[in-house]
Structures are given as structure tokens and as C-alpha cells.
């Protein structure tokens, strides 16, 4: 399995929509697989037209960079030209902002979830909240660690 099932994606979306509703906000939620390909996207009535695209880019970034999008901010701030170039290397923009979380189970990266439509802090709180509540890992090293043996010799 190289991504969340549709059932898992729908559960994340419904949980995020409930949290947004409780905040009085209309958001878009996107869930993507390991490779950053869409599993499901949903825009609540009243959310702005661009929010699904923003949510997809957040979910994509968290999936292919394999850490929450908030962790990309130091890189983006510290080396903005290089970050901007890397940000165009995939099939969606890679964004360094709040509101995108990696879907990780143990050491396995299965995808990402992105929220757009609230304030940055609200998007982040919703994303982190639903990922934690659904039992996905929320611990990420600053950089990906190596497997036990180099070069696949082990």
C-alpha cells in the first residue's frame, strides 16, 4: 500500500471539516498518497475557489518532503532563491507554510494532508489535530535519517 485508502482519506476529511465547522470556518481539505497524487479533495460550501489548489499543494509538500510544511519555513527563509527553485521541481508547488501534515506510520511515509481556508494557525491546528487523532505519527526528524546500511548492501 503506497497511500492511505480512500476510506482513511474520507475519515480525515470529515474530521477536518468538523473541526473547521466548530471554528466557524469553511476550508478545503486535500489528501494525497506517497507520491503526492490526489486521493480525495473536498471544499466546504463557502470556501474560496483557490482553496482546493492550496490544500493540494500543502498535502503534496508534506508528502514528498516527508515532513510537515511548517518545518520547511526555516529553509525557505534561510535560502529563499534555492527553495523557490526546488519548489518548482515537482508536479505541484512545494510550499513552506502552516497547514500541511505528513501521513506517516512507523517509518513509512504514506502521504499527506493539507488544509486551506482558515487562518494559517487554524489550518495548522486542524491538520495537526486530525492527523494525531487518527493515530498517524507526528514525530519528524529535521532531516531524513539513513537506513542501517548504505547502498542497499545489507
CB contact at 8 A, 33 and 2: yes
Total residues found in the chain within this entry: 154
Rounded to the nearest whole angstrom, what is the least distance from the CB of residue 29 to a copy of itself in the complex?
10
Q: How far is CA 32 from the centre of its chain?
A: 8
**Cell 468538523 belongs to which residue?**
18
Using the minimum distance from each CB to a copy of itself, give the nearer residue, 119 or 138.
Answer: 119
Nearer residue to a copy of itself within complex by CB, 110 or 131: 110
Give me the least distance between CB of 130 and a copy of itself, in Å please: 13
Minimum CB distance to a copy of itself smaller for 94 or for 131: 94
CB 114 within 8 A of CB 100: yes
| Shortest distance, position 5 Cβ to a copy of itself, whole Å | 5
Amino acid at each position: 500500500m503506497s497511500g492511505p485508502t480512500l476510506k482513511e482519506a474520507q475519515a480525515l476529511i470529515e474530521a477536518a471539516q468538523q473541526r473547521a465547522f466548530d471554528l466557524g470556518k469553511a476550508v478545503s481539505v486535500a489528501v494525497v498518497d506517497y507520491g503526492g497524487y490526489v486521493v480525495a479533495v473536498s471544499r466546504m460550501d463557502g470556501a474560496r475557489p483557490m482553496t482546493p489548489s492550496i490544500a493540494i499543494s500543502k498535502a503534496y509538500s508534506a508528502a514528498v518532503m516527508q515532513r510537515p510544511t511548517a518545518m520547511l519555513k526555516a529553509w525557505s527563509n534561510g535560502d529563499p532563491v534555492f527553495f523557490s527553485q526546488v519548489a518548482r521541481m515537482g508536479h505541484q508547488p512545494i510550499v513552506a507554510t502552516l497547514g500541511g501534515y505528513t501521513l506517516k506510520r512507523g517509518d513509512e511515509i504514506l502521504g499527506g494532508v493539507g488544509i486551506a481556508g482558515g487562518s494559517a494557525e487554524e489550518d495548522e491546528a486542524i491538520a495537526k489535530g486530525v492527523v494525531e487523532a487518527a493515530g498517524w505519527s507526528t514525530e519528524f526528524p529535521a532531516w531524513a535519517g539513513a537506513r542501517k546500511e548504505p547502498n542497499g548492501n545489507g
